[in-house]
Homo-oligomer: A and B are copies of this chain.
Amino acid sequence: MTSSSAGVPLIYPIHEKSTEGSSPPPLAVGGKGHALMELASIGAPVPSGFVCSPALSAFFQDGAPNPPEQVKATVDEGLNLLREWSGKTFGDAQNPLLLSVRSSAPAPMPEAQPTVVNIGLTPDGVDGLIRQTNDARLAWDAYRRFIHSYGMYVLGVEPGGFDQLLAKALSQANAEADHELHAEALEALAKGFREHCESQAGCALPSEPREQLYNAVAAGFKAWNHPRAVDHRRATLQEHLPGTAMVVQEMVFGTGAAHSGAGSLFTRHPASGKKKLYGKFLERAYVEDLTAGVRFTEDLSALGKLAPKAYKELKGWAEKIERHFHDAQEIQFTIDEGRLMILQSRPAGRTAAASIRIALDLVDEGICNERDALCQIDPVAIDLLLHPTLDRSGAEEILSKGVPASPGSAVGQVVFFAEQVEEMAAQGVKIILVRQETTPEDIGGLSAAEGILTAHGGLTSHAAVVARGMGKCCIVGAQQIDINYHINEMTIGEKTVKRMDWISLDGNTGEIFAGQLPQVQPSLEGDVARVMEWADRHRSMGVRANADTEADARKALEMGAEGVGLCRTEHMFFDIERIPIFRKMILSVDEIGRSAALAELLPMQRKDFMEIFRVMQSRPVTIRLLDPPLHEFLPRSIRSQTRMSKAMNISVEMVQHRSEALSETNPMLGHRGCRLAFTYPEIYHMQVRAIVEAACIVAKEGVAVQPEIMVPLVSTARELALLRESIRDLADRVMEELAESLSIQIGTMLETPRAAVCSRSIAAHADFYSFGTNDLTQMGFGFSRDDSGSFLPMYMEKGVLEEDPFVALDQEGIGAMMRIAIEEGRKSNPDLKVGICGEHGGEAASVKFFHKLGLDYVSCSPFRLPIARLAAAQAAIEMEEE
């Protein structure tokens, strides 16, 4: 019955009578086309029409007639179907058949997709429509809407001019909104629109209805192939999408004189998730008016009063449609003189919190299966549900507001120095650490505090990153706060908070309260556990956690980690007992002095690793060799330097001198990572020995340990080749000493742009890659994480960047480097295992992207594992469906 190209149909009918069996998938007809065909198939009242297949795109080639003949023929075929069903002939001015044309893309696109209404109207047709409906207002309104939508989407006329003409018409009529305009005013407006449109476009509106229709359909196909759209799809790995479909449907008017209007409804409450119809309605309107913001919408009860029968019918259909699509729906409808027509149904928008409630309820009500439910849950919801919240009465005193950097809440007494926190916390005092900003030296205090508040810094400042890693509430960039360290107090405007005063932090909102607010512990453990169980059944990508200590490792297991993806050995050196020894190593003038200090550290590091191996059992544990520059381990303030000089019995001058000698202009690009291995080889030697000894000892206890040694900051193949050889030699020697034989993988953290483009030669020396997307982002953009706070917010405000690339991975640029690294790397080493251990490993959109890239696993802080598990499952399901 319908035409086809190489076996693919070029046209699909939307009509109760013609929809036999299941409709084609969204990929073939787009989301909208699919939904409409499905609605027709269950007998819902949808306007008749047809879908033009994306296969028609192929006919849009350079030099082909525009629109192509095949497109015209297909559209003609559709019109024949419509005539058959409705008895109306398109282009008949006496009994006009009016149509709408809408794009139906297989996935959301960033730019507005064409929608043209009332196609087929001409000045003659307006007369016919008036005779037919006996409603001049409706007819002129329809005509001006045709010109407006055709002008914008087909002729490329800017919308501003139309808006100005409408505003002028409203002001002349002393009206507030367009439904108050009378037929005469609308007629004048339509003529004004027409003049404006034709002068802007430099051509006349087609007087031939068919020509209008052909052009409108063609406009949709052309928009899909616009270079910006092509770029977007390439950047988001959506190049495989087949193209947009175009939906052509008979018009239904909601602008009739009586019992007419348009509305939309949600089958579940979008904020709470509760099962309850919730929607808005406009009398005498098109559905497009609902979002245009031209007038205030009413709630659904208005429809109940205006057309009770249609309302009852709508409620029935809402329930049926939700059940049919296995998900909460947002339904658009029109009431045409009391008659209900459903224009569209799609998955309903919802808040993070609602998404989890709806998913669980739908499964429990038997409306959807766990696979579909999983895809409906916003991963952010999981995060919020795993942290305690403040129990607010509304009467609490708000002191200030900062940037919410790590969710949850914290209640405690204020302390301004990190070194004071540990001791007090050990005595059971709950502390909020308040600082201008934090540094790596503060790690002990950060770890012991209940929550962290800083006056400076952004989402990617040291405090923010560390706190998220620890799953600890943190607010940063609270700029109103003025801290006076000398007298141990801070002022916020007129208010003063002294040391040991109580404050409360809301990490979800960034609010800072005076006093001790009550906290509500997370109560949805059961629900979250249930969702995680589903997720683990469906995901294919592995999940690991970043864990530096035994406690971290336990937490990681609890949160579902299948291994440790990043164990940062440097954090072990900041321990209060060890830092003096490590500093002694740094201050040594020669290799002998350094080796002596390292020998003291060896048993401590070995113990750390043994503890972690014992917790992780036979799961892989990736240990990164020392990464930060040595100066990070030396104190910066004169006070700390003096204390250090006394403790180590050397002169302050010596401490300062060494500290200055090691200081760097750009430490991020300095003497760190594997570069240390070439200048101070003894450091890595000690670490490798500690790892291998620990692994051998724990292996003797019967544990099938899986140690993986990771070399950081590699930029050339030769670096890795040389270090791999020396690590391998030492590991073999240690295993021989301890009479143990283990398989130890050696890989690298892929974090410099050069390493990404030279991946083919580097991968030949690596068992695995773990992408360090934080540093790759820093070097790729040239954005220092510590300094970008001075311009990144402005970048987001001015739309230069849509998202902070340190929060959500930049898929276009940094993602492209990752893709090159993986493709090239697997050319020389097809067995290369690839993971990621940056902050992005716990961000849902990034995790989905990583799945598409073909990563073997993601690793993130234990507290973000539930997000990663859910996102990985969603990505797997989505890709399977594609």
Contacts of A671 in B (CB 8 A): 787-788, 790-791
Instruction: Give the Cβ gap from A139 to chain B, nearest Cβ, in Å.
Output: 42
- Decide: A754 near B828, CB < 8 A? Known: A790-B671, A800-B722: no
Contacting pair B800 A781 (CB below 8 A): no
Contacting pair A798 B722 (CB below 8 A): yes
Partner of A781, one of B754, B760, B761, B801: B754
* Least CB separation from A790: chain B residue: B671
Contacting pair B779 A780 (CB below 8 A): yes
Q: Which of A273-281, A386-394, A660-668 contacts B (4 or more CB under 8 A)?
A: A660-668
Contacting pair B667 A787 (CB below 8 A): yes
Contacts of A369 in B (CB 8 A): none
Q: Does A693 contact B (CB under 8 A)?
A: no
Q: Does A324 contact B (CB under 8 A)?
A: no
Contacts of A813 in B (CB 8 A): 715-716, 754, 757-758
Q: Does A820 contact B (CB under 8 A)?
A: yes
Contacting pair B231 A761 (CB below 8 A): yes
Q: Does A670 contact B (CB under 8 A)?
A: yes
Contacts of A801 in B (CB 8 A): 716, 718
Q: Does A250 contact B (CB under 8 A)?
A: no
Contacting pair A800 B664 (CB below 8 A): no
Contacting pair A753 B669 (CB below 8 A): no
Q: In the bound complex, how far is the Cα of B780 from the Cα of A718, in angstroms?
A: 16
* Least CB separation from A456: chain B residue: B661
* Least CB separation from A439: chain B residue: B665
Instruction: Give the Cβ gap from A37 to chain B, nearest Cβ, in Å.
Output: 36
Contacting pair A227 B679 (CB below 8 A): no
Q: Does A810 contact B (CB under 8 A)?
A: yes
Contacts of A718 in B (CB 8 A): 799-801
Q: Does A176 contact B (CB under 8 A)?
A: no
Chain A, 133-150, contact with B by CB distance < 8 Å: what is the 0/1 string?
000000000000000000
* Least CB separation from A813: chain B residue: B754
Instruction: Give the Cβ gap from A82 to chain B, nearest Cβ, in Å.
Output: 42
Q: Does A786 contact B (CB under 8 A)?
A: yes
Partner of A758, one of B679, B782, B816: B816
Contacts of A817 in B (CB 8 A): 753-754, 757
Partner of A775, one of B670, B716, B778, B782: B782
Q: In the bound complex, how far is the Cα of B813 from the Cα of A817, in angstroms?
A: 12
Within 8 A of B (CB), among A781-796: 781-784, 786-788, 790-791, 794-795
Q: Does A744 contact B (CB under 8 A)?
A: no
Q: Does A764 contact B (CB under 8 A)?
A: yes
Instruction: Give the Cβ gap from A720 to chain B, nearest Cβ, in Å.
Output: 10
Q: Does A713 contact B (CB under 8 A)?
A: yes
Q: In the bound complex, how far is the Cα of B717 from the Cα of A231, in angstroms?
A: 11
Most buried by B among A716, A775, A799: A716
Contacts of A715 in B (CB 8 A): 780-783, 813
Instruction: Give the Cβ gap from A440 to chain B, nearest Cβ, in Å.
Output: 12
Instruction: Give the Cβ gap from A799 to chain B, nearest Cβ, in Å.
Output: 7
Q: Does A814 contact B (CB under 8 A)?
A: yes
Contacts of A231 in B (CB 8 A): 760-761
Q: Does A752 contact B (CB under 8 A)?
A: yes
Contacts of A667 in B (CB 8 A): 665-666, 784, 787
Q: Does A678 contact B (CB under 8 A)?
A: yes
Contacts of A795 in B (CB 8 A): 675, 678
Q: In the bound complex, how far is the Cα of B758 from the Cα of A355, in angstroms?
A: 35
Contacts of A788 in B (CB 8 A): 669-671
Q: Does A562 contact B (CB under 8 A)?
A: no
Contacting pair B794 A666 (CB below 8 A): no
Contacting pair A669 B670 (CB below 8 A): no
Chain A, 649-683, contact with B by CB distance < 8 Å: what is the 0/1 string?
00000000000000011111111010100110000
Instruction: Give the Cβ gap from A71 to chain B, nearest Cβ, in Å.
Output: 27
Contacting pair B716 A783 (CB below 8 A): no
Chain A, 717-733, contact with B by CB distance < 8 Å: what is the 0/1 string?
01100100000000000
Q: In the bound complex, how far is the Cα of B757 from the Cα of A668, in angstroms?
A: 22
Q: Does A812 contact B (CB under 8 A)?
A: yes
Contacts of A751 in B (CB 8 A): 782
Contacts of A786 in B (CB 8 A): 664-666
Most buried by B among A675, A751, A814, A816: A675
Contacting pair A784 B719 (CB below 8 A): no
Partner of A665, one of B673, B780, B787: B787
Within 8 A of B (CB), among A749-784: 751-754, 757-758, 760-761, 764, 775, 778-784
Q: In the bound complex, how far is the Cα of B754 from the Cα of A778, in angstroms?
A: 10
Contacts of A781 in B (CB 8 A): 715-716, 752, 754
Contacting pair B814 A754 (CB below 8 A): yes
Contacts of A713 in B (CB 8 A): 782
Residues of A within 8 A of B (CB): 227, 231, 664-671, 673, 675, 678-679, 713, 715-716, 718-719, 722, 751-754, 757-758, 760-761, 764, 775, 778-784, 786-788, 790-791, 794-795, 798-801, 810, 812-814, 816-817, 820, 828
- Can you list 14 residue pairs at the A/B interface with Cβ under 8 Å? A231-B760, A664-B786, A664-B787, A667-B787, A669-B782, A670-B790, A671-B790, A715-B780, A715-B781, A715-B783, A722-B800, A753-B753, A753-B754, A757-B817
Given A664-B787, A753-B780, 12 additional A-B pairs, CB 8 A: A664-B786, A665-B786, A666-B787, A668-B669, A669-B779, A669-B783, A678-B791, A715-B780, A718-B801, A753-B779, A754-B781, A779-B779
